[in-house]
Amino acid sequence: MAVSGTLRAPGGARSRIPWDAIRNNWAVIAVIAFLLFLILVPIVRLVVNSFLLGHPSVPEGWTLSNYTAAFSMPIFYSALGTTLWISAVGTFITLAIAVLFAWLIERTDMPGRNLAWSLILIPMAIPGVLFALGWALLLAPNTGALNIALRDLFGLFGMSFEKGPINIYSIGGLIFLDGLRGVTTVFLMIVGAFRMMDPSLEEAARVSKAGAAGTFFQVTLPAMLPAVLAAGMYSFISSMESFEAPLAVGLPGNIFVLSTLIYFTTRIQAPMDYGLAAVFGVSYMVLMLLLLVVYRRAVRQSDRFSTVTGKGFRPRVTSIGKWRYPALAMFIFYFLLAVVAPFAILLWASVLPSYRVPSWQALNLFTWANYLEIFETERVLNVVWNTFYLMLLSATLTMVLAFITSWGIVRSRVRGAGLLDGLVFIPHAIPGIVIALALLMAYLSPPLKYLGIYGSMWIMVMGLVVAYVAFGTRLMNSAIMQVHKELEQAAYVSGASTMRTLFSITLPLLFPAFAAGWVWVAVHALRSFSIPLMLASRENEVFAVLLWEYWDEGTASLSSALGILMILVLIPMTLLMRRFIVQVSGQQG
C-alpha cells in the first residue's frame, strides 16, 4: 500500500507498482501489514477449523460433519431466533429512549440539561456483566430485593406471590437489560445531529402553530430519521453480539443466544467441541457481516439528508412548557434504572460477609472485610496489575495502529485504499466472543502455537486491538481529513521522514481526537468481558474474569466489591471522555 504524498509516475499516469512510494513509506506499510495480520489470520483459521475434526492443536482430518451437525441442531435455530428477537425489541427500546433524551438535552429547555449530558455517560462506566449481576440481585424470582419489596406491597392489597412477580431470568429480562444498556452509545451517535440540525425547519413549524410535541414528531424526527436509522442499525449489531447479560441472566434461565452457545460449547460442555464451535462462530460472523453491509449502506444514505446550514447557523432551544419537569423526572427515572439501582445493590452486597436481602437487621453485619481481602490478596493485586497493563497496552496499540492506518487510507491515492478501509472495518461486525474463539484456534494450531502467545497477556491485547481498531480508524479517518496535507508536504521538503512527520506534526494537530479514542478504548478494555473470559489463563487473569469467577463460585459479596472498585475507576475516565468529545466536535463543527 503506497501512502506517500507523491504517488504518481512521471507524466501524471498512475504507477502500477509505485516503488518510490513503497520505499519512502515502508514503516507505514509494515504497520498496516501487521494490523491486517492481526485481523485476517484468526478469521481464516476459524474458517479452516470449522472443516477440521479434533482439537485445534492436533487436528484429525478434514470433514463436513461439523456443519451437518450444527445445522441439524434445534438449539442453533432457537438461539438464532432468540438473538434476533432480543436484539430487535431491545434496539427499539434503546432508540426510543436515546432519541427522546437527545432531543430533550440538545433542543429543549429541560432543567439540568448540562448535568444530564454528563450523567448519561455514566452507564458506560458500569461493565455489562456488573449491570446484569446487579439486576440479578434485584429481580431474582425468589431472593431479588425489588421482588421482595413488590410482594410486600402487593400483599397490602390482598395479592400474594410465592415468587416474582418479575423474573429477570427470562427473555423479557434480557430485553429489559439490552434496551437500557445501549442508550448511551446511541445518544452519542445522534446527539450531534440534533445539535447541528437547521433550526429554520422547526421555526417554520412553530409559525404554523405546531406545538413542541407536534414539531418533534412531524419535523424534527423525520429530518433526523436517516441518522436515527443508522444509529439503530449500529445498536442492533451491538445487541446481536451481546454476551454479558445472556451469560449472567440467560444461562441460569436456560436461555441461549448465539454468543453463549459458543461459550457453552468451548468452555462448559464436556467434551469441548471446537469444530462445532467454529461452525457457530463462522455462521455468527457471516450474519454480522451481512448486517454490516446494510449498516454501511444506511450510513451512506444518511449523508444525502443533511440539514445543517452554513454560516449564520444558530441552534435554538424549544420551550416544552409544563413538561419541563416531567421530562427531567423521566431522565432521573432512567438514571435510577441504568446506574443507581444496580450500583446500590452491588454496594450493599460488597459490605456484607455474604449477600442478604437489604434490611435493618442485615445492616448490623456491615463490614469492610471484602475490600480488605481484595487489597491484601496477592492474586488480586496481580489481577489489578494485569488489568491496567492490558488497558494501557490495548488503548495505546489500538490508537497508534488506527492512526497510522487511517493516514494511509486517507492520504493514499492508489488503488486499494478503499479495500483496506473495508478490511479494517470488518472486525466491527465480528462479535467479541467470535474474535476470541478465532484467536484461540489460531494460536493453538500450528505454526502459530509455537510462538507461545496463547495463555499470555498478548493474546488478550491482540483480541482487544482487533475488536476496537474499527472504531479507532473511523475516528481518525474523519480527524485526518481536517488536516491539510500541505503541512505534511512542508515537512517532507525539509527532509523529514514519513513517520517523523506523522508523530511530530500530524499527531499533535489531531491530539484531541486521538485522546478521545484512547480514553474510549481504555474504558472499553477495562470493562471488556467476553474476550478476556475466553482467553484468560491463570497467568493472565484480569478484573472481569476474577469477578465472574467469584460470582460463579457463589461469593457474590467479594465479586460485588471488585465490581464497585472497577466502577469507581471507570467513572472519572468516562467523564473525561466527554471533554475530548466536545473538543473533537468543536474542531469538526
Residue bearing cell 470449522: 50
Is a pLDDT exceeding 50 seen at residue 306?
A: no
pLDDT at 450: 86
The stretch 332-349 carries a mean pLDDT of 95
pLDDT at 331: 96
Express each pLDDT in 26-76 by its tens digit: 777 888 889 889 999 999 989 999 998 888 878 888 999 999 999 999 999
Contacts of 540 (CB under 8 A, 6+ apart): 386, 455, 456, 457, 459, 460
Topology match between the domains 1-6+17-49+370-589 and 83-315+322-348? yes
Is a pLDDT exceeding 60 seen at residue 15?
A: no
pLDDT at 198: 59
Query: 555-566: string of b/e by CB count within 10 Å (b at 16+)?
Result: bbbbbbbbbbbb
The stretch 290-319 carries a mean pLDDT of 62
Express each pLDDT in 255-278 by its tens digit: 999 999 999 998 888 788 889 999
Q: Return d(Cα 304, Cα 293) in angstroms, integer.
A: 18
The stretch 339-363 carries a mean pLDDT of 92
pLDDT at 298: 65
Is a pLDDT exceeding 80 seen at residue 559?
A: yes
- 3-state secondary structure at position 243: coil
pLDDT at 233: 82
Q: Give the range among 8-17, 308-317, 338-347, 573-582 with minimum mean pLDDT.
A: 8-17
Is a pLDDT exceeding 50 seen at residue 250?
A: yes
Is a pLDDT exceeding 50 seen at residue 4?
A: no
pLDDT at 221: 66
User: Residue ranges per domain, the chain?
Assistant: 1-6+17-49+370-589, 83-315+322-348
Alpha helix segments (H runs only) across 13-73: 19-24, 26-49, 65-70
pLDDT at 213: 63
Confidence of residue 156 (pLDDT cuts 50, 70, 90): confident
pLDDT at 353: 92
Residues facing residue 316 across a β-bridge: none
Q: Return d(Cα 447, Cα 527) in angstroms, integer.
A: 32
| 324 or 319: which leads in pLDDT | 324
Express each pLDDT in 184-233 by its tens digit: 888 887 887 777 665 666 666 565 656 666 666 666 667 667 777 778 88
Are the CB atoms for 560 and 350 separated by under 8 Å? yes
Q: Give the range among 175-189, 301-315, 365-379 with minimum mean pLDDT.
A: 301-315
Cell numbers at 589, concatenated: 463543527
What percent of the chain stands above pLDDT 90? 34
The stretch 102-118 carries a mean pLDDT of 88
Q: What class has domain 1-6+17-49+370-589?
A: mainly alpha
Are the CB atoms for 500 and 452 separated by under 8 Å? no
Are the CB atoms for 28 and 394 separated by under 8 Å? no
Is a pLDDT exceeding 50 seen at residue 319?
A: yes
Q: Give the range among 16-30, 180-194, 359-373 with minimum mean pLDDT.
A: 16-30
pLDDT at 178: 95
pLDDT at 58: 82
pLDDT at 581: 62
Cell numbers at 497, concatenated: 521522514
Are the CB atoms for 548 and 525 separated by under 8 Å? no
pLDDT at 131: 94
| 531 or 210: which leads in pLDDT | 531
| 193 or 362: which leads in pLDDT | 362
Q: Return d(Cα 519, Cα 513) in angstroms, integer.
A: 10
> Looking at domain 83-315+322-348, what is its CATH homologous superfamily?
MetI-like (1.10.3720.10)
Is a pLDDT exceeding 80 seen at residue 168?
A: yes
**Which of 20-24, 44-48, 332-336, 528-532 has the highest average model confidence (pLDDT)?**
332-336
The stretch 3-32 carries a mean pLDDT of 57
**Which of 188-192, 288-292, 349-353, 415-419 has the highest average model confidence (pLDDT)?**
349-353
pLDDT at 426: 83
Confidence of residue 11 (pLDDT cuts 50, 70, 90): very low
Cell numbers at 549, concatenated: 469467577
Cell numbers at 398, concatenated: 489500538
Q: Return d(Cα 321, Cα 100) in angstroms, integer.
A: 16
| 414 or 291: which leads in pLDDT | 291
pTM for the full predicted model? 0.84
Is a pLDDT exceeding 80 seen at residue 585?
A: no
H or E element, residue 60: strand 58-62
Sign of torsion over alpha carbons 233, 238, 241, 244: negative
pLDDT at 199: 63
